[in-house]
Amino acid sequence: MKKEDKKRLRSEDWFNPGDVKQGFIHRSWLRNQGYPDDYFRGRPVIGICNTWSELTPCNGHLRTFAEYVKRGVLEAGGVPFEFPVTSMGETLMRPTAMLFRNLASMDTEESIRANPLDGVVLLTGCDKTTPSTVMGACSVDLPTIVVPGGPMLNGKYKGERIGSGTFVWTLKDRIKNEGFTQEDQIEAEICSSRSAGHCMTMGTASTMACMVESLGLTLPGAAAIPAVDSRKKALAQLSGRRIVEMVREDLRLSKILTRKAFENAIKLNAAVGGSTNFIIHLTAIANRIGVKLDLKDFDTLGSHIPLLVNLMPSGRFLMEDFFDAGGLPVVINQLKGHLHNDAITVNGKPIGENNQRAECYNKEVIASIEQPFQEKAGIAVLYGNLCKDGAVIKPSAATEKLMTHRGKAVVFETIEDYHARVDDPGLDIDENSIMVLKGVGPVGYPGMAEVGNMDLPEKILKKGVKDMVRISDGRMSGTAYGTVVLHVSPESSIGGILGLIQTGDHIVLDVPNRKLHLEVDDAELEKRKAAWTPPAPHTNRGYVSLYTATVQQAHLGADLDFLAGKSGDTVTRDAH
């Protein structure tokens, strides 16, 4: 046993307890997998929490990664055990993967706490698999390190760089206006998914990978390494080595996830042009670890930060280009004047020191702080009678001239109503109208689906118009773009003013003044409210029933209310 191991490990309560019978049970059954006795004699036990699933295509390669983590753990004198947790494939799960983020976080939390683990490595990839596992791990608060699975290689179609997700949002327009055939579509499908890994735009998965690196939860440079790059495997191995040291140092999540770390993450998310989903997930993580974060913080801390990364959907390039240009370390170095450079990371060093030598290899992809792609990026948080608890918009993905706009509402009561009528030639709508979608919030959908970036009506697209103001209580894919107001809180299905809007009402969007206002007087709104009835519950049983009864609104992170905070790592009773 090394000197540092002398502090009694949590796992020893299972493997070397006072009770002879208990120790026998805990060791003996594990040994059916061929482990020698010395695995259970004071070596740090590391759980490799794997979100691998063939139904989560973005995480399909993570079984292989677990083997590299195991190598590292063993090299450092630890003992690795890989275990599965609920995985969520963004592209397949209905009604939306977000409905299951909190369920998966509970699975992660309880799996970690209930088992003889001293430290944890989280293998993540697709959008929700990063926040769900980090949220769960926060509620236990063991030493934890994240290995993000990495983006796919750049999408390439007939010489064109195509981004996963972002390309999909152009399909309707390409088919209507550019003669895009079915053969073209079939070819483009595989061209936009060329390798293992997650979406290679700065969509939510890449945003989440940057988020965990910004928070200090990965080894430096982890976020942008493509899934198939050999350096990602090396990173997994090094993370395996490091987590064993973190256990010896007792470097727990709560020591890394300070308010400073969250502020760094908000600023870096602005600089990379990250997804609006970042707000919801970071807020939920902060609530778990016990750091106070307010929706306004995202605006006050992030909206004066310049945009330094030229990636789709806001820009031109993709994650492979970002990695080749130097990745997030370059952004961290460029932004050092804005960051808490002394925030500690999983390697035990401050974030500033880790990244101080990062150099940019392509200024078309990563700009310098002196010459950014945009002076101000980040996320604008709006308030007004339409959203008393807030709504958000991503200015870098929006159309400048629509940022101040007054228009007539065209209301879709549900997503089905939208699909049924949006392309009706008789629909009374023009490019100055404001499309309003109700019933897609946390309770209403349920799960707050990524449908806020509604496709424009065909007759508008035919005019060559590419953007209109859209408002909803839903979310938007991180790969999407447009002048899209999201996360309206309180949502329409629980009695928010959004639910009272009628077609023909006028709405004022004023992003520079952070305002979203429905031009209907209070007396009329009261009248409509009195006539309003809440929609019937989706179901009275199972997880969905629990979810809709306890989910918090978007501005609070859309976690289940009883999951806030942590229960720690102690379990006093044994099974036998």
| Residue ranges in contact with ligand FES by CB under 6 A | 58, 90-91, 126-127, 164-165, 198-199, 203, 205
Nearer Cβ to ligand FES (90/320)? 90
Please give the structure tokens belonging to residue 224: 């942008």
Three-state secondary structure readout of 328-349: HHHHHHHCCCCCCCCCECCCCC
Minimum distance from residue 520 beta carbon to ligand FES (Å): 38
Element (H, E) at 71: helix 62-75
Nearer Cβ to ligand FES (58/391)? 58
Distance CA 373, CA 317 (A): 13
Q: How many CB atoms lie within 10 A of CB 560?
A: 18
Residue 92's alpha-carbon distances to 53, 62, 126, in angstroms, are: 12, 18, 12
Minimum distance from residue 394 beta carbon to ligand FES (Å): 17
Minimum distance from residue 315 beta carbon to ligand FES (Å): 18
CB 343 within 8 A of CB 260: yes
Minimum distance from residue 98 beta carbon to ligand FES (Å): 12
Is there a cis peptide before residue 95, judged by omega within 30 degrees of 0? yes
Q: Please choose, from the candidates 292, 301, 290, 300, the residue with its C-alpha nearest in 3D space to the C-alpha of residue 264.
A: 301
Nearer Cβ to ligand FES (91/258)? 91
Minimum distance from residue 479 beta carbon to ligand FES (Å): 7
Distance CA 423, CA 382 (A): 30
Nearer Cβ to ligand FES (40/323)? 323
CB 448 within 8 A of CB 558: yes
Residue count (the chain): 576
Nearer Cβ to ligand FES (205/468)? 205
Beta bridge partners of residue 509, listed in sequence order:
405, 516
Buried b (16+ CB within 10 A) or exposed e, 41-73: ebbbbbbbbbbbbeebbbbbbbeebbebbbbbb
Amino acid symbol at 245: E
Minimum distance from residue 128 beta carbon to ligand FES (Å): 9
Minimum distance from residue 508 beta carbon to ligand FES (Å): 34
Going by C-beta distance under 8 Å and a sequence separation of 6 or more, which residues neighbour residue 157?
Answer: 167, 187, 188, 191, 192
CB 287 within 8 A of CB 558: no
Nearer Cβ to ligand FES (58/311)? 58
Distance CA 573, CA 478 (A): 43
Minimum distance from residue 4 beta carbon to ligand FES (Å): 38
CB 127 within 8 A of CB 110: no
Nearer Cβ to ligand FES (207/303)? 207
Element (H, E) at 312: none
Nearer Cβ to ligand FES (127/245)? 127
Minimum distance from residue 183 beta carbon to ligand FES (Å): 24
Nearer Cβ to ligand FES (198/248)? 198
Nearer Cβ to ligand FES (59/105)? 59
Distance CA 69, CA 534 (A): 49
Nearer Cβ to ligand FES (27/128)? 128
Q: How many CB atoms lie within 10 A of CB 246?
A: 28
- CA angle 452–455–461, rounded 5-degree value: 145
CB 490 within 8 A of CB 476: no
Minimum distance from residue 127 beta carbon to ligand FES (Å): 5
Distance CA 195, CA 152 (A): 5
Q: How many CB atoms lie within 10 A of CB 2?
A: 12
Minimum distance from residue 21 beta carbon to ligand FES (Å): 46
Minimum distance from residue 308 beta carbon to ligand FES (Å): 22
Minimum distance from residue 292 beta carbon to ligand FES (Å): 29
Minimum distance from residue 129 beta carbon to ligand FES (Å): 8
Q: Please choose, from the candidates 385, 362, 335, the residue with its C-alpha nearest in 3D space to the C-alpha of residue 506.
A: 385
Minimum distance from residue 498 beta carbon to ligand FES (Å): 27
Q: Please choose, from the candidates 487, 486, 485, 483, the residue with its C-alpha nearest in 3D space to the C-alpha of residue 466.
A: 483
Please give the structure tokens belonging to residue 215: 């928070």
Nearer Cβ to ligand FES (53/303)? 53
Nearer Cβ to ligand FES (227/436)? 227
Kind of pairing between the strands at 144-148 and 119-124: parallel
User: Residue 503 carries which DSSP code?
Assistant: T
Please give the structure tokens belonging to residue 547: 């979810």
Nearer Cβ to ligand FES (156/529)? 156
Distance CA 140, CA 399 (A): 43
Please give the structure tokens belonging to residue 176: 């209507």
Nearer Cβ to ligand FES (14/100)? 100
Going by C-beta distance under 8 Å and a sequence separation of 6 or more, which residues neighbour residue 181?
Answer: none
